[in-house]
Amino acid sequence: MRTLFSEADIAERIAALGQEIADHYQGSFTLAPILTGGFVLGADLARAVYRAGGDAKIDFLQLASYGTKQTSSGVVKLIKDFNRPVEGERILLVDDVLDSGRSLYFASKMLEERGAADVKICVAVDKKSKRAEPVTADFVAFETEAEAFLVGYGMDDAELKRGLPEICSLN
């Protein structure tokens, strides 16, 4: 296991990202971590946005496409939906990693179909890989090569290693 981004690197970048997001929204929006991987970034980002003068509503969405494998099944399932209507809302989807793009594409299209006023994407890591869906992140903490299998900071290997305070590559 190789550390790509240390705990200190992450803290510094999330503080800056929180400021970028607070400056962008200048008012009400919903910060929506995608469970399970996006919960760590979501919690840190909510505090960083608040410290930067913003104050987001928070709701969650849970999707599944990986199961316990290291590659996507190609099918995205909605496990947990939002608790309130999203029509007219500005939504910031927060996820651990942008790789194939399937989950974030699914979530953003679903929200657009439901009448969200604006849907943006924030990820901890943007893997520079060929996307299965046309998705780009609006806010990115870090970038890495496509081949890296990432763990830590919410990212897992068969549901383990999510709690590592740094972002590591298993290969």
State which H helix or E strand residue 151 sits in: strand 150-151
Strands ordered across the beta sheet of 167-169: 2-5, 167-169, 150-151
Q: Which residues contact 143 (CB under 8 A, 6 or more apart)?
A: 125, 126, 127, 128
99 tagged catalytic: yes
Instruction: Identify whether the C-beta of residue 158 lies closer than 8 Å to the C-beta of residue 100.
Output: no
Q: Which residues contact 141 (CB under 8 A, 6 or more apart)?
A: 5, 10, 13, 14, 17, 41, 122, 123, 124, 125
Instruction: Identify whether the C-beta of residue 136 lies closer than 8 Å to the C-beta of residue 111.
Output: no
d(CA 24, CA 39) in angstroms, rounded, equals 22
Catalytic residue among 44, 96, 99, 156: 99
Instruction: Give the catalytic positions in this structure.
Output: 99
